[in-house]
Structure 1
């Protein structure tokens, strides 16, 4: 004999009933089959709604009841031939009439007892099995409909179920010994209490029905057919990478189902464990797949952690006060009060000081639990020995589950480090002595983020998902998107990094996609996207609340730079080529560094100096290794270097500047580069990275531009003025030429002071013969006092700047 159970999703429509009947026939060809059915999908919820509406004297319960009746009558007409419909239609109408009578009484009394709720909610299974058994008889005449209420005896207090196994087992064995059918159709969920009043086994109780029957009949297996292919490593609706577990132990299944894995009703395991009866969880829609086998041992699992699960309908209650310390029996009073009120405690944690006990209960029981505890300890609360109990809502429990966890060190640390790194605060922690479960209470809003983080940490091929939000998609941003698209496969294969661009914006529009923006059509998609503001962009990223989020700023905007602190406070890393933040007041620079450390985020700005050159990284490594900076000399402006490398007093100066703009070597306003402000910001950043507390005003600036050009109202006026100033530029060039020297705009830091300005550089100097837009930095340190450490290469241009930003993103991924 085999026993099969089909859930509501498997019998949600006549088409699905027809499909599963073929599966049942495969089993019934060779042996007898007991088939347990749930109500049609959604019907139990509808019945509970009918009861609640009737209690609240809401006449609309009648409309919902009519809808339930219509659904079942239509199923009869679709599944059965006309000549065989009459008896079943009559039975369905009889059930509905009984329901109407019960609901009318509830309506008139405005009262809905637990007993009445159990009776009303059980009609779904009686209706479904009446129809399905008649349909199965069409192909197997020897099909018998069994009334589970005559077999299973239980005691219910609210929704807490206790099965009386001895009388139930006796009735089940007697019934199957006295009847002979090929297919037994059994309504799940329903039973009777010891007084003979109809009751239920709790939500999800059809699984329990199958288990009770399987244990009583001493079968080898119980098949649970549902809408998913077994129990998963995590909820597949929240974690796209989750996959089915082929083998797990009874204990692991119990933990997973208790902590929210809805594939299996938790009490289902109890009657099966002692008799070592396997449970096979399979999908009705893919019955050939392996599914999950639950048995005595899970040795076939090779992972330390078997699954990650959660419960989100939870509230915390904290009992604390000095009056608890060292008082015998305090915990007994607390838990006894909850027990007598029928309140189940989901999680417990107690401080070793005995100063507080934190418990988690279902959120629909939280108010009653609080009132019960405050009443029980009224004297202690009044005297100030303990504080009044308060409820903390909007929390959830996440749990790691696995038999092998007890054999492996460091799992707790790995779990909490992953959560902490992504700014997920842990409110309470519990770990059983068996070490099979590590549970943590977190904010409900962080559940999806936490599940994905932990799944990535414990189950996926060692890889890391980075979620990028990029503002500024012009020259540099556009190149960055091209590079990301080109390197996608390489990053995943070689570095185990999955980099997704989920948000982009310019000064007018912003585009988001939780599945990743299509990098082939982002320009068109962005043009048709929502209106943008820095605040809206930030709030959307914050609301998405994704792990490993990185904000990338490719602008030169002071406004955007002002938002960095908000991102860092939410553990969102910042990568920027925008120098404004790091060259702002030292107080702001230091605050950003502190925020990054405090909230476990990265704040990277390698491209602030030298575009893609590793200048800041080199300096930070020197300082971290204990070296001391004696002097820094540098050509730090790729744009100025390009201008003076190409200016030979033949083509006008203003023409060379225009060419630099066209090739992306300058800021949109070229005065930022030509005035020396940009270089001053760069040497200021290097000074701060060297440990100096300098401000921008402390940098000595020697400008080669006229005051009139620097104060021009716009770019057009600026170019008009420098065109008129051509003679002064010619003079500078020829003076340098006469000395056999080149003009370079040089930044220098020495003895705690910094300066920038145009200098004549002779042939033997390392700055001579710099080509194109190259930058060069000379680090004179205690380790390199005579021959400096030199970093040299292209220091401007969209491609190299984008590559520097890309490198910072990868640096975060490798962290």
Structure 2
């Protein structure tokens, strides 16, 4: 499941071959195998390599046959027949008679051989018998792929994979690669047996439990693959075992060295052997390992590889119970250091003279020490560990870990030699309660939020200039990272983050052309717990993307008014989709720039109050014009002056049309709980019809035609000791509601009559604020206040997301 970043500027050169491994649960029955074929169709291309485990619990069944054979149990024959029938069932459910007949004949021969070996010295043929599970699985999947999709063939790993012995499973890469290359066929999908191989004598050998994962990464090393995906029954690697830690979060990307340490210390998905080939010294590039779920292939899994600083901040907590601490002065010697390379130990510290081993390794270790006439002390223990990049060198994390484990009274603390783990040695097994407590203490601040900023104009520039200080100032933004910059045609997307202090320069140097499809593909595969798009564009086209953003669970903070004032069906679809996926949608700056009018309406609604009326002056431009206009100079002169100062849109008719005010009133009415559309709000266009459709140059040349109307309106108002203001008003009535935007005459004592030019004012009447309305007044436009309002939304969004927990759906861990 190689994730492609279509708008990244620094993509690695593609390498053609990818490896896909399917575990036993992914191949358990015909329905699972059909699901695997769907994955193969979508993710595999010709010349890719597929590694398989035995179907379902076939390997466990084969082990059970050994026990029956050694006990000379009469149930052996019926158990063998049951195994055969289960394999026949898969063949008949998936393959046509023509495709299935060769597999049935091969199965008959295998069952005869299996029966003979079980009845005649089964221990001598252990590995050959266990190999049947993978052989049958590979045959079946290959035949099914050939029948339903494309040409496929099988490779038995015993024909190429040479390992030194069953205990260490060290691969002889050079010899294995020579034999492997001879077995490959062009333009066909290879299905390869996992778990099995051969020793230097050519005898069958197994790679131990979870050996198929190891097989897959070995194949990746031999094939010089770029990616290897482990398709299993969980959708990734988590910050703790999600079966016992409900608040565990997925680790989307994990550095190689941290993953190895996590596998060494008991992660239920990762295993130390699996990761060995990923650092094979002869590889010319880094192999990225993906862990994904075959039961939910559309869900982005976890990726292990080489990443930048953001991925290095991932943390995980793990435990290992039923261990032994073996202590001896002898263990401090160089002789012991060399000798202990033969044992599978969890932890060695030669300076302190101890090793930690699994219970089943005790006899082997103590016998070896006893043969050297060495005195030892053996203590049953358990480990709980926090794993993260250079975590042992972070004093605050070590202190936090010690506090979290204090109640368990650890015997000692250990830091790994690579500094990627800190370990508490416990005198009793690590309980679920302790694991949850340590997980909470170590990962509570680790939710990673990606930030994509769209719109790099005036407001965008100010927003980005404020971002570095905001990120360092607010605790809720501690794990928020700028990862994307979008202009109208170019984009810069970096999974490992963009330095916000250099954002503009980096965008100018490295941004690439993009389109909607490329953007959506990356957004659908982003490697963060949450992603927020900050829309600082005035673009109606970009607001049309919101539906897809919300469908992908992406959050939106917008100063863009188009989506919030869309037609009612579209607006309701947006709300519904956002609600279904849990997407946040904040738009405080769509009305009033940084003024908290949206917050006020939301707060009243949450508190149980009911809004009766919303009115005010919502346009900074029209506020300035009518606060300044006193008929001493023509209105057209004032309008041109405002345009020259940048107080109007380039085409002042956009302000005078009232459409912007109309949209703002619609947004506020909807926030107050009313359902209406733009067509329900009457609007007075202050531009005469004759001037509405001409060019802007012609309009500016003829705008004196506005003067008589405004002079007359001003004179009429003055005669009644009033003023003129462009007012928006929504009011609940007995018949429903009335909404209008128009030039109104107001008394000089009215709240709207005396404003600082450019100010907005909002008056809210409700059941609670009826006789004395709630008034919010202040600058309703400007780069700084708008950018500040967006930052206010960002802080609230991140505070909300940091409290969010998503239930982990898990089918079981291999």
Normalized against structure 1, the TM-score is what? 0.50
Pick one of 179, 195, 214 that aligns with 1:159: 195
Distance 2:569 2:717 in 1: 41
Aligned residue among 636, 641, 655 for 2:623: 641
Aligned partner of residue 725 in structure 1, secondary structure: helix
Partner of 2:473: 490
3-state SS of the aligned residue for 1:807? helix
Show the 5 A alignment for 1:329-478: 459-460=442-443, 462=445, 464-478=447-461
Contact preservation (8 Å) 2:326, 2:355: no
Residue by residue over 1:85-139, the C-alpha shift from the partner in whole angstroms, topping out at 9 and shown as x without a partner, is xxxxxxxxxxxxxxxxxxxxxxxxx9967397446789996999xxxxxxxxxxx
Picking from 749, 759, 765, the partner of 1:764 is 749
Is the CA contact (8 Å cut-off) linking 2:653 and 2:687 kept in structure 1? no
Say if 1:489 and 1:117 are closer, same or farther in 2 by CA, change over 3 A.
closer
1:612-631 pair list within 5 angstroms: 612-631=594-613
CA–CA distance in structure 2, aligned partners of residues 601 and 650 of structure 1:
52
In the other structure, the counterpart of 1:787 is 772
- Output the CA distance in 2 between the equivalents of 1:744 and 1:536: 47
Residue number in structure 2 paired with 1:597: 579
Aligned partners of 2:162 and 2:200 also within 8 Å: no
**SS in structure 1 at match of 2:564:** coil
Partner of 1:704: 686
Match of residue 384 from structure 1: none
Q: How has the CA–CA distance of structure 1 residues 645 and 688 changed in structure 2, closer, same or farther, with 3 Å as cutoff?
A: same
Match of 2:784 in 1: 799
For the residues of structure 2 that align with 1:191 and 1:527, how far apart are their CA atoms?
58
Q: Distance in 2 between matches of 1:723 and 1:456?
A: 71
What is the alpha-carbon distance in structure 2 between the residues aligned to residue 291 and residue 802 of structure 1?
58
Deviation at 1:490, TM superposition (A): 0.6
CA contact (8 A) 1:463 1:496 kept: no
Q: Distance in 2 between matches of 1:160 and 1:469?
A: 46
- Range moving further from structure 2, 666-675 or 454-463: 454-463
Aligned match of 1:447: none
- Pairwise CA RMSD: 5.1
Give the structure 2 partner of residue 553 of structure 1. 535
Which of 562, 573, 589 is the equivalent residue of 1:580? 562
Query: Which residue in 1 is equivalent to 2:796?
Result: 811
Greater mean alpha carbon deviation, residues 536-545 or residues 775-784: 536-545
Q: Secondary structure at the match of 2:654?
A: helix
Distance in 2 (CA, whole Å) between partners of 1:631 and 1:759 is: 17
Per-residue deviation, 1:690: 2.1
Tell me which residue corresponds to 2:729: 748
The alpha-carbon distance between structure 1 residues 602 and 118, as it changes in their structure 2 partners (threshold 3 A), is same
How far residue 550 of structure 1 moved from its aligned partner, in angstroms, is: 0.8
Q: Kindly indicate whether the alpha-carbon contact (under 8 Å) linking 1:119 and 1:198 is maintained by their aligned counterparts in 2.
A: no
Distance of 2:614 and 2:667 partners within structure 1: 12
Task: After TM superposition, give the deviation of residue 570 of structure 1 in Å.
Answer: 0.2
Secondary structure at 1:544 match in 2:
coil
Partner of 1:314: none
Q: Is the 8 A contact 2:531 2:555 kept in 1?
A: yes
Residue 518 (1) aligns with residue 499 (2): yes
After TM superposition, the structure 1 = structure 2 runs for residues 27-176 of structure 1, keeping only pairs within 5 Å, are: 114=158, 117-118=161-162, 159=195
The number of residues matched between the two structures is 479
Aligned partners of 2:745, 2:254: CA distance in 1, in Å?
A: 62
Q: Is residue 257–residue 264 contact of structure 1 (8 Å, CA) maintained in 2?
A: no
1:774 corresponds to 2:767: no
8 Å CA contact retained: 2:614, 2:730 = yes
In 1, are the aligned partners of 2:484 and 2:492 still within 8 Å (CA)? yes
Pairs within 5 Å for 1:211-226: none
The aligned counterpart of 1:239 is: 254
Q: Which residue of 1 aligns with 2:701?
A: 720
Counterpart Cα distance in 2 of 1:547 and 1:505: 21
Pairwise CA distance, 1:749: 1.1
The 2-side partners of 1:290 and 1:571 are apart by 52
Superimposed CA distance per residue, residues 369-422 of structure 1 (whole angstroms, 9 cap, x where no aligned partner): xxxxxxxxxxxxxxxxxxxxxxxxxxxxxxxxxxx99x99xxxxxxxxxxxxxx
Q: Quick one: structure 1 residues 201 and 702, their matched pair in 2 at CA, closer, same or farther if it must change by over 3 Å?
A: closer
User: Structure 1 residue 618: deviation in Å?
Assistant: 0.9
Report what 1:507 is aligned to: 488
How many Å apart are 1:600 and its aligned residue? 0.8
Tell me the CA shift for residue 721 of structure 1. 2.9
Whether the 8 Å CA contact 1:632–1:779 is kept in 2: the answer is yes
Q: 1:736: Cα distance to partner?
A: 3.4
In structure 1, distance between residues paired with 2:256 and 2:444: 11
CA distance in 1, matches of 2:786, 2:354: 50
| Residue 544 of structure 1: how far off its partner (Å) | 2.5
Change (3 A) 1:515 1:654: farther
User: CA–CA distance in 1 between the matches of 2:626 and 2:528?
Assistant: 46
Structure 2 residue matching 1:580: 3-state secondary structure: coil
Quick one: structure 1 residues 716 and 621, their matched pair in 2 at CA, closer, same or farther if it must change by over 3 Å? same
Does the residue aligned with 1:758 lie in a helix, a strand or coil? strand
Query: What does residue 712 of structure 2 align with?
Result: 731
Offset at residue 232 of structure 1 (A): 10
Distance 1:651 1:120, change over 3 A: farther
Q: Unmatched 5+ residue regions in structure 1? A: 1-48, 53-109, 129-156, 162-188, 209-230, 310-403, 409-432, 440-453
Cα distance in 2, alignment partners of residues 770 and 288 from structure 1? 77
1:219-245 deviations in Å (ceiling 9; x for gaps):
xxxxxxxxxxxx998999933699799
Contact 2:265 2:346 in 1 (8 A): no
Residues 262 and 571 (structure 1 numbering): CA distance in 2 closer, same or farther, change over 3 Å?
Answer: farther
3-state SS of paired residue (2:460):
helix
* Between 467-476 and 645-654, the greater mean CA deviation after superposition: 645-654
Shift of 1:731: 3.2
Shift of 1:686: 1.6
- Alpha-carbon distance in 1 for matches of 2:766, 2:683: 24
User: CA separation in 1, counterparts of 2:528 and 2:584?
Assistant: 15
Q: 1:587 to 1:460 in 2, by over 3 A?
A: same
CA distance in 1 between counterparts of 2:587 and 2:473 reads: 24
Contact 2:665 2:728 in 1 (8 A): yes
Hey, what's the Cα distance between the residues in 2 that align with 1:474 and 1:437? 51
Q: Please say if residues 610 and 796 of structure 1, whose CA atoms lie closer than 8 Å, have aligned partners that are also in contact.
A: yes
CA distance in 2, matches of 1:647, 1:593: 41
Contact residue 563 and residue 571 of structure 2 kept, 8 A: yes
Deviation at 1:202, TM superposition (A): 5.3
Which of these residues, 660, 671, 682, is aligned with residue 653 of structure 2?
Answer: 671
